[in-house]
């Protein structure tokens, strides 16, 4: 993702448009791939229904244009799943490699694909795929070693433990709280309409004879467990369950295509479902669009830039706010933001009154 955004900056300059164009293109690509997956599994009607219902979700309409790894990772992994369905080795490998270059979800992608292929005649294929995954992971660690001098540079192990733990100091929660939070994220960003449609679709699929479809959905769900594995991340960041867009939209589209095959008049039910997904959380989506959650950090950083000199070090208080907004503070201030009292400047951010006070320590 950083590489693709840097390419976008090269062509369009550094701007919000240039930053967002990368996830927007990935989201558009995902919609297209969902259509082809649905067409390959059942029919072109399912491809249309599934892609449209995915596009209507608040998850894609908001987070599908945010510069986070999830839109790219899901797009690339969907390419791999499409190659798997079409039995096209090159499409599949391109999807796997691009996912591996994006984030660690490729480990779960390989696990899901292995389950899809699971049979005595495919043991060699599964072993080869797992070996390929190990090689990709090894190349990542080698790259980290070249850059930092350590295979686990940047405290990779610490980050892994933090993101998978439910017992962090800042975000301590139990399994019940976690399940309630995920339910909240899912019902808000995928809507209850789609969740209900997907449940009905899963029941219909379970009773059908579409064994390939069943195995395929299982493989995708295993891939989506990446979100659940990093429990701390998905508890804090609502967009981290972005991966479930793929199975939910396919199951939702499936139930309506089955009704459509039964009687064409049931097309009206899909239209109502599409509108339901589009408008059910519209007020929440509008609130997200106007919230400007990082506006305070940008203003604080710009104040730092205007008051301090190049090369000055700045500590931002409170520490928790500084840690959560460090990339924004560093980017817009163009200063060295440090977590120590031994700094040239201290910036105190009052989140309640949205005021920024500055004190020169020289």
- How confident is the model over 289-299, as pLDDT tens digits? 888 778 888 88
Select, from the ranges 130-134, 287-291, 336-340, 357-361, the one with the highest average predicted confidence (pLDDT): 130-134
Q: Do residues 69 and 240 touch, judged by C-beta distance below 8 A?
A: no
Token pair 């969907």 is at which residue?
78
pLDDT at 6 over 60: yes
| pLDDT value at residue 170 | 59
User: Sorting pLDDT into bands at 50, 70 and 90, what band is 361?
Assistant: very low
| C-alpha to C-alpha distance for 18 and 68, rounded to whole angstroms | 14
Residue 31 contacts residue 54 (beta carbons within 8 Å): yes
Taking all residues of the chain, what is their mean pLDDT, rounded to a whole number? 89
Q: How far apart are the first and last CA of the chain?
A: 40
Question: What pLDDT score does 259 carry?
Answer: 87
Q: Which ranges of the chain would DSSP assign to H, the alpha helix? A: 2-12, 16-41, 44-55, 58, 69-86, 89-100, 105-117, 123-148, 156-164, 175-189, 191-207, 211-229, 231-236, 245-262, 267-279, 282-291, 295-307, 319-324, 326-333
pLDDT at residue 149 in the model: 86
Give the pLDDT confidence of 241-257 residue by residue, as tens digits: 999 999 999 999 999 99
Among residues of the chain, what percentage have pLDDT more than 70? 94
| Residue 29 confidence (pLDDT) | 98
What is the structure's pLDDT at 246?
Answer: 98
In whole angstroms, how far apart are CA 227 and each of 116, 185, 239, 316?
Answer: 20, 12, 10, 31
Please answer whether residues 30 and 22 qualify as being in contact, where contact means their C-beta atoms are separated by less than 8 angstroms: no
Q: Is it the case that residue 93 has pLDDT exceeding 60?
A: yes
Bridge partner list, 349 = 356
Give the model's pLDDT for residue 351. 60
Which pTM was predicted?
Answer: 0.88
Kindly state the DSSP code that residue 88 receives in the 8-state scheme: -
- The angle that helices 245-262 and 69-86 make with each other, rounded to 10 degrees, is 50
If pLDDT is split at 50, 70 and 90, which confidence band does 85 have? very high
The partner residues of 167 in beta bridges, in order of sequence, read: 172
What is the mean predicted confidence (pLDDT) over 281-287? Answer: 92
In sequence order, the 6+-apart residues with CB closer than 8 A to the CB of 210 are: 41, 42
Give the residue-averaged pLDDT of 111-133.
94
Is there a contact between 241 and 234 (Cβ–Cβ < 8 Å)?
A: yes
Q: What pLDDT is attached to residue 354?
A: 47
Helix (H) or strand (E) holding 350: strand 345-350
For 284, the 3-state DSSP assignment is helix
What's the average model confidence in pLDDT over 207-230? 94
Q: Which residues contact 87 (CB under 8 A, 6 or more apart)?
A: none
CB crowding 92-131: b at 16 or more within 10 Å, else e: beebbebbbbbbbbbbbbbbbbbebbeeeeeeeebeebee
Strands 355-360 and 336-337: unpaired
Q: What would the pLDDT profile of 30-50 be if each residue is shown by its tens digit? A: 999 999 999 999 999 999 999
Q: Could you tell me how many residues make up the chain?
A: 362
- Degrees (nearest 5) of the Cα angle 176, 177, 182? 100
């Amino acid at each position: 993702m950083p590489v693709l955004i840097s390419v976008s900056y090269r062509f369009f300059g550094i701007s919000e448009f240039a930053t967002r164009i990368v996830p927007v293109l990935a989201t558009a690509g995902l919609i297209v791939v969902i259509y082809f997956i649905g067409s390959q599994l059942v029919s072109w009607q399912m491809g249309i229904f599934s892609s449209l219902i995915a596009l209507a979700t608040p998850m894609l309409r908001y987070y599908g244009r945010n510069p986070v790894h999830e839109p790219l990772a899901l797009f690339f992994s969907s390419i791999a799943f499409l190659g798997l369905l079409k039995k096209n080795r090159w499409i599949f490998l391109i999807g796997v490699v691009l996912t591996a270059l994006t984030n660690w979800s490729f480990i779960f992608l390989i696990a899901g694909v292995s389950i899809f292929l699971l049979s005595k005649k495919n043991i060699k294929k599964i072993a080869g795929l797992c070996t390929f995954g190990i090689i990709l992971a090894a190349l990542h660690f080698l790259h980290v070693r070249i850059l930092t001098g350590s295979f686990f540079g940047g405290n990779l192990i610490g980050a892994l433990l933090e993101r998978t733990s439910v017992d962090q100091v800042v975000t301590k929660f139990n399994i019940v709280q976690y399940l309630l939070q995920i339910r909240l994220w899912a019902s808000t960003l995928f809507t209850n309409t789609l969740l209900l449609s997907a449940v009905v679709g899963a029941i219909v699929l379970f009773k059908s004879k579409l064994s390939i479809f069943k195995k395929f959905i299982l493989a995708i769900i295993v891939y989506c467990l990446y979100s659940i594995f990093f429990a701390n991340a998905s508890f804090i960041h609502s967009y981290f369950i972005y991966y479930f867009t793929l199975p939910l939209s396919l199951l939702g589209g499936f139930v309506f295509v089955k009704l459509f095959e039964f009687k064409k008049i049931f097309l009206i039910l899909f239209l109502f479902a599409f509108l339901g997904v589009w408008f059910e959380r519209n007020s929440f989506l509008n609130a997200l669009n106007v919230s400007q959650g990082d506006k305070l950090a940008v203003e604080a950083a710009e104040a730092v830039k205007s008051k301090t000199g190049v090369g000055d070090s700045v500590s931002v208080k409170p520490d928790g706010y500084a840690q959560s907004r460090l990339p924004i503070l560093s980017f817009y201030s163009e200063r060295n933001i440090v977590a120590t009292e031994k700094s040239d400047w201290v910036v105190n951010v009052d989140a309640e009154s949205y005021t920024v006070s500055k004190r020169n320590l020289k």
